[in-house]
């Protein structure tokens, strides 16, 4: 039986067009960790929050193709916190929490498995080279609570990415993100210093963290069987 893994998320996971490269979403590399009989369908979209994703009926579009046995990966938070934008802002409590439950219930109602992924951390450090635990506000913690309350599988990518950033340090993490000097790339003639969106290298690292989290999860034994490898060595980039 073939299954599909749908990604519902924002720009950190979304497929980037030619005009946006070398910016890359981690979802672009997740398929490489699965066997060819398993499909990753990346529906993440730049700039979306749980609120705007639902309002634009993007979850409804997924539901039309979602089948029993499929997986729904849910990763939001970066844009839910945009207080200045009423079309996207979803307060951590109760709106963000309630929206996550809508995603979870959709997958279960259609015979599939919802999986919550805490937001990938922004590149933000405190004194002493410590990654800022509030780099995406309260949203990762609220998602952890929702996972506990609803019995939903959780991949804590916020924690995993912060561990990676701590290991690499302030300077060592720059190449993971969109930091380019002026005229370095035709898509970005002006210099860019973006600590939210990933370079190609950064996206590969985060996809590796997601694959590692699946491999280490006790709540996703069936999904784990679709991975190409079962040993830790199957996931390049760990701690690199």
Question: Residue 85, by phi and psi: left (phi above 0), alpha (psi -120 to 50) or beta?
Answer: beta
Task: Output the pLDDT for position 2.
Answer: 86
Which of 172, 179, 192, 178 lies closest to 129 in space, CA to CA? 172
Other CB atoms within 10 A of residue 218 CB:
7
| Cα-to-chain-centroid distance, residue 81 | 16
How far apart are alpha carbons 189 and 114 in whole angstroms? 41
Query: Which residues neighbour 98 within 8 Å (Cβ) at sequence distance 6 or greater?
Result: none
CATH code of the domain in which 185 resides? 3.40.50.1110
> Reduced to 3 states, what is the DSSP secondary structure of residue 171?
helix
For residue 161, being part of any structural domain is answered with yes
Which of 116, 108, 11 lies closest to 66 in space, CA to CA? 108
For residue 173, being part of any structural domain is answered with yes
Q: Which two tokens stand for residue 135?
A: 């780099």
For residue 149, being part of any structural domain is answered with yes
Task: Output the pLDDT for position 229.
Answer: 73
pLDDT tens-digit profile of 33-63?
999 999 999 999 999 999 999 999 999 999 9
Per the structure, how many domains does the chain have?
Answer: 1
For residue 154, the surrounding DSSP H or E stretch is: strand 153-155
For residue 201, being part of any structural domain is answered with yes
Task: Output the pLDDT for position 42.
Answer: 98
Task: Output the pLDDT for position 118.
Answer: 98
For residue 240, being part of any structural domain is answered with no
Which residue stretches of the chain have pLDDT < 50?
A: 231-240
Rounded to 5 degrees, what angle do the CA atoms 16, 103, 219 make? 95
Q: CA 231 → CA 30, 112, 163, 165, 216, distances in Å? A: 17, 26, 20, 23, 10
For residue 225, being part of any structural domain is answered with yes
For residue 203, the surrounding DSSP H or E stretch is: helix 200-216
Task: Output the pLDDT for position 79.
Answer: 98
For residue 239, being part of any structural domain is answered with no
Could you tell me if 160 and 206 are in contact, meaning their C-beta atoms sit under 8 angstroms apart? Answer: no
Range of the structural domain that residue 132 is part of? 3-234
């Amino acid at each position: 039986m073939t299954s599909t893994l749908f990604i519902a998320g924002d720009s950190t996971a979304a497929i980037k067009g030619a005009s946006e490269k070398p910016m890359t979403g981690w979802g672009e590399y997740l398929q490489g960790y699965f066997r060819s009989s398993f499909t990753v369908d990346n529906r993440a979209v730049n700039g979306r929050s749980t609120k705007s994703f639902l309002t634009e009926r993007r979850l409804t579009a997924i539901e039309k193709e979602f089948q029993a046995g499929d997986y729904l990966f849910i990763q939001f938070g970066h844009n839910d916190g945009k207080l200045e934008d009423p079309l996207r802002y979803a307060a951590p409590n109760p709106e963000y929490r309630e929206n996550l439950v809508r995603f979870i219930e959709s997958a279960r109602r259609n015979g599939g498995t919802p999986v919550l992924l805490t937001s990938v951390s922004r590149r933000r450090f405190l004194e002493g080279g410590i990654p800022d635990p509030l780099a995406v506000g309260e949203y990762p913690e609220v998602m952890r609570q929702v996972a506990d309350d609803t019995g939903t599988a959780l991949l804590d990518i916020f924690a995993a990415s912060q561990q990676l950033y701590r290991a690499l340090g302030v300077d060592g993490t720059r190449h993971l993100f969109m930091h380019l000097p002026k005229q370095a790339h035709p898509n970005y003639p002006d210099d860019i210093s973006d600590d939210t969106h990933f370079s190609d290298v950064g996206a590969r690292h985060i996809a590796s963290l997601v694959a590692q989290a699946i491999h280490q999860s006790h709540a996703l034994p069936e999904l784990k069987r679709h991975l190409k490898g079962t040993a830790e060595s199957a996931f390049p980039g760990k701690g690199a």
